[in-house]
Structure 1
Amino acid sequence: MNLAFYAPLKAPDHPVPSGDRTMARALIKAMDYAEITVSTASDLRIYDSAGDTARQAELMRQAKAETDRILTDPKAQTWQAWLTYHNYYKAPDLIGPAVTRALGIPYVQVESTRARKRLTGPWATFAEAAEAASDHARTIFYVTERDAETLRRDAPDGQVLTHLRPFLQRADLPARSDYSGPMLSVGMMRAGDKLASYHLIAETLHRLDDDLDWRLDIAGDGPAQAEVGQAMMPFGARVQMLGALGADALQDRYEHARLLFWPGVNEAFGYAYLEAQAAGLPVVAQDRPGVRDVVAGMQPAMSEGPDAMAQRLTGLLGDTDAVQTLGAAARDKVADHHLLPAAARTLRTALEDLI
C-alpha cells in the first residue's frame, strides 16, 4: 500500500516541536508499522492565525502552484490514496482534494474539525476550503469524541468516520514508576490555555494543608516561563522548575514520579497523559473534553475547581496503595488502546477497505 501524506499546519520535519508535529510523526510511524509506504507529498505550510484575507489569497496561490508541481512528479502516479492530517479553518488542505481528483484516488483525513460558524468573518475563505476538503474525504479518522460530534453532524452521505485513538510512538510499555519522586507537571509555558492550567495548579497547591508532605517538578518552558515561575514562587523549594526536557530525561522523570498533575485546560488530548500513564502514573486533572478521551478513571468536574483537585491530591499523596492501583489501571489502558500496534491495526484495516 502506497500513500501520500500531508500536514498543512506543520510538516513532520518542521523545526519547531509541538503536538501537531508529534502527531504527524506518530501517524507516519504507525503506517510504517502497518507496512504502509508513506511519501510526504508537500511541506508547504498553509496557516493563517490572524484572519488575514490577503495572506489567505497568497497561500491559495502557492497551493495551486504546489498542486501543479505534485501532479508532474512521477511518484504521484504510484499513490493509492492521499491522507491529510489536521484540516481546519486556519489550516485547510488546499492541495489534497485537487490532487486526488486529478489522480482518481481516495482522499482521507485524520483529526479534522468542522467549524461552520467560521463561514462568515475573516476566515471565511479558508473555512469554506476546510469544509469542502472534509466533504471530499471518503474516510475521516477522528481522534476525540469532541471532534466526532460535528463530523457526524455534517458528514455527507457515504462518508465513513473511524475512531483512531491517540497513541504513543512505541510498540510496548516503558518501565513502570517506582513512585519514589515528587508529583510531576508537564506542559509548554505560553499564554492562553497552557498558562491557565499552570494557574489552576498554583491555586490547587495553595489549598493543600501546610503539614502535607508534597513536592512538584515542572517540566517545560516557553514565553510565559516568568509568569509561571512567579505563580510558583510562594511554594519555595517544594516546586522545582526543570525547564524543557529531552525525551530520555522526561522518561526518567516519569519512571520516578508519584503522579501526573495537569488540569488540561482545552487540551486536544495531551501526549503527557499517555506518556505518564504508560509509566503507571495516576493522573490528577479535570473532567474535560479531550482529557476524558485518554485519561483512565474519573476526574474532578471543572465546576468543582481547585478544591476538588486539592482533595484528590491529598488522598493520593497519603495512600501509596491507591497510587499503585490507579497507576496499574492507567498503564493497562495505554497498553490496550494507545500504542503503535492498535493504531496500525485501525489505519491498515480502514485503508484496505477503502482502497
Structure 2
Amino acid sequence: MTVAFYAPLKAPDHPVPSGDRTMARALIKALDHAGLAMTVASDLRIYDRAGDAALQTELIKQAQKEVARLLSAPAAGTWQCWLTYHNYYKAPDLIGPPVARALGIPYVQVESTRARKRLSGPWARFAEAAEAASDQAHTIFYVTARDAETLRRDAPAGQVLTHLRPFLDRAELPRQSDYSGAMLSVGMMRAGDKLGSYKLIADTLALLNPALEWQLDIAGSGPAEAEVTTLMAPFGARVRMLGALPAGELQHCYERACLLFWPGVNEAFGYAYLEAQAAGLPVVAQDRPGVRDVVAGMQPAVADGPHAMAARLTDMLTNRALVEDLGAQARAQIAQHHLLPAAAGTLRTAIEGMI
C-alpha cells in the first residue's frame, strides 16, 4: 500500500525548522512505522501570509501545472491513498483533491482547520479552496479538541473524523531527567503569541520570593530575541539565554532540567511539552486549549494570571517529591498516548479501512 504525502505549508525537507516541519516528518515516520509505503508527492509550497490576491492567482497556476505533472508521472499509478498535512485558509491543498479524484483514490487530511469567516476578505479564494478540500476528504485526522469542534460542525455527511494525538517521532522514551538543573523554557522568539508567553514568564518570575533559589534556562531564538532579552534583563544571571539548540543539545537540557515552564499562549499543542514530559519533566503552563491536549494534570487558569503560575513554581521548587511524582505521571502519559506506536496504529487502522 503506497500513500502519497503532501504538506502545502512546509515540505518535510524545508530548510527552516518549525513545528509544521517537525509534524510533517513525524507523520512520515509514523506511516513507515505502520508498515505503509510512502512517497512525498510534491514539495510545491502554497502559502499566502498576507492575503495577496496576485500571489494567490500565481500559486493556483503553479498548482494546476503540478497536478498535470503528477498525473502524468508513473508513480501516480502506485498510489492508493493521498494524505495531506495541514490544509487551512493560508495554505490550502490545491493539489491533492484533483489528483485523488482523477486517480479514484481516497483523499485524507491531517490537522486541517475550518475557518468559514475567511470566505470573505483577502483570503477568500484560498479559504474556499481549503473548505472544498476539507469537504472532499474521506477522513480528517484531528490533533486537538479545538480543531475537532469546527471540523465536526462543518463536516459533510459521511465524513469520518479520527483523533490522532500529537506524538513524538520515536518509539521509546528518552533518558529520564535527574532534576539536577534549572527550570527550562523552550520556544521561538517572535512577535505575537510566542512573545506573549515570554511576557507571562517575566511577569511570573517577578512574583517569586527573592529568597527562593531558582535558575531559568531559555532555549530559542528568532526575530523578537531582543525583546525577550529585555524582558529577562531584570533577573540578571538567574536567566540564561541558550539560543537555538540542535535537537541533541536540547535533549540534554531536558535530561537535566527540573521542570518545563511555558505558558502556552495560543499553542496548537507545542512539541516542547511532549519532549519535556517524555524526559519526565512536570510542566507549568496555563489551562489553554492546546495545552490540555498534551499536558498531564491540571494547569492554572488563564484568569488567575502570573500569580497562579508563581505559586505553582514555588510548590515545585521547594518540593522535590512533587516534581518527581508529577514527572512520572507526565512520562507515563507520553508513553501511552504520544509515541510512534500509538500514532502508527491510529493511521494504519483508518487508512487500511478506507482502502
TM-score range for the pair, normalised by the shorter chain length: over 0.9
Describe the SS at the equivalent of 1:255.
helix
Name the residue aligned to 2:292.
292
Counterpart CA distance in 2 for 1:171 and 1:2 is 22
Counterpart CA distance in 2 for 1:243 and 1:57 is 39
Name the residue aligned to 2:19.
19
Counterpart CA distance in 1 for 2:243 and 2:51 is 33
Name the residue aligned to 1:75.
75
1:130-209 equivalences under 5 Å are 130-209=130-209
Counterpart CA distance in 2 for 1:175 and 1:21 is 24
Describe the SS at the equivalent of 2:109.
strand
Counterpart CA distance in 2 for 1:89 and 1:226 is 31
1:174 offset after TM fit, Å?
0.6
Describe the SS at the equivalent of 1:11.
coil
Residue 79 of structure 1 aligns to which amino acid in structure 2?
Answer: W
Counterpart CA distance in 2 for 1:92 and 1:313 is 41
Q: 1:39-60 deviations in whole A, cap 9, x for unaligned?
A: 1111000000101111101100
1:32 offset after TM fit, Å?
0.5
1:179 offset after TM fit, Å?
0.4
- TM-score normalized by the length of structure 1: 1.00
Name the residue aligned to 1:84.
84
Q: 1:232-260 deviations in whole A, cap 9, x for unaligned?
A: 01001100000111111111010010000
1:229 offset after TM fit, Å?
0.5
Q: 1:163-205 deviations in whole A, cap 9, x for unaligned?
A: 0000001000011111000100000111111111001000000
Residue 18 of structure 1 aligns to which amino acid in structure 2?
Answer: S
1:275-314 equivalences under 5 Å are 275-314=275-314
Counterpart CA distance in 2 for 1:326 and 1:121 is 46
1:158 offset after TM fit, Å?
0.7
* Structure 1 consecutive aligned stretches of length 4 or more whose deviation exceeds 6 Å: none
Counterpart CA distance in 2 for 1:20 and 1:293 is 17
Counterpart CA distance in 1 for 2:34 and 2:171 is 12
Counterpart CA distance in 1 for 2:14 and 2:249 is 22
1:141 offset after TM fit, Å?
0.2
Name the residue aligned to 2:9.
9
Name the residue aligned to 1:218.
218
1:108 offset after TM fit, Å?
0.2
1:135 offset after TM fit, Å?
0.2
Name the residue aligned to 2:321.
321
Counterpart CA distance in 2 for 1:154 and 1:352 is 25
Counterpart CA distance in 2 for 1:190 and 1:92 is 24
Name the residue aligned to 1:265.
265
Residue 347 of structure 1 aligns to which amino acid in structure 2?
Answer: L
Counterpart CA distance in 1 for 2:248 and 2:8 is 29
- TM-score normalized by the length of structure 2: 1.00
Is residue 124 of structure 2 the alignment partner of residue 128 of structure 1? no
Name the residue aligned to 1:36.
36
Is residue 322 of structure 2 the alignment partner of residue 335 of structure 1? no
Residue 66 of structure 2 aligns to which amino acid in structure 1?
Answer: E
1:219 offset after TM fit, Å?
0.4
Paired residues in the alignment total 355
1:214 offset after TM fit, Å?
0.6
Counterpart CA distance in 2 for 1:236 and 1:62 is 51
Identity across aligned pairs (percent)?
A: 76
Describe the SS at the equivalent of 2:256.
coil
Name the residue aligned to 1:97.
97
Residue 194 of structure 1 aligns to which amino acid in structure 2?
Answer: K
Counterpart CA distance in 2 for 1:100 and 1:280 is 42
Counterpart CA distance in 2 for 1:109 and 1:278 is 27
Residue 180 of structure 1 aligns to which amino acid in structure 2?
Answer: S
Name the residue aligned to 1:115.
115
**Any stretches of 5+ residues in structure 2 without a counterpart?**
none
How large is the RMSD of aligned CA atoms in angstroms?
0.4
Counterpart CA distance in 2 for 1:227 and 1:198 is 9
1:64 offset after TM fit, Å?
0.3
Counterpart CA distance in 2 for 1:100 and 1:47 is 21
Residue 114 of structure 1 aligns to which amino acid in structure 2?
Answer: R
Name the residue aligned to 2:237.
237
Counterpart CA distance in 2 for 1:308 and 1:180 is 24
Describe the SS at the equivalent of 1:212.
coil
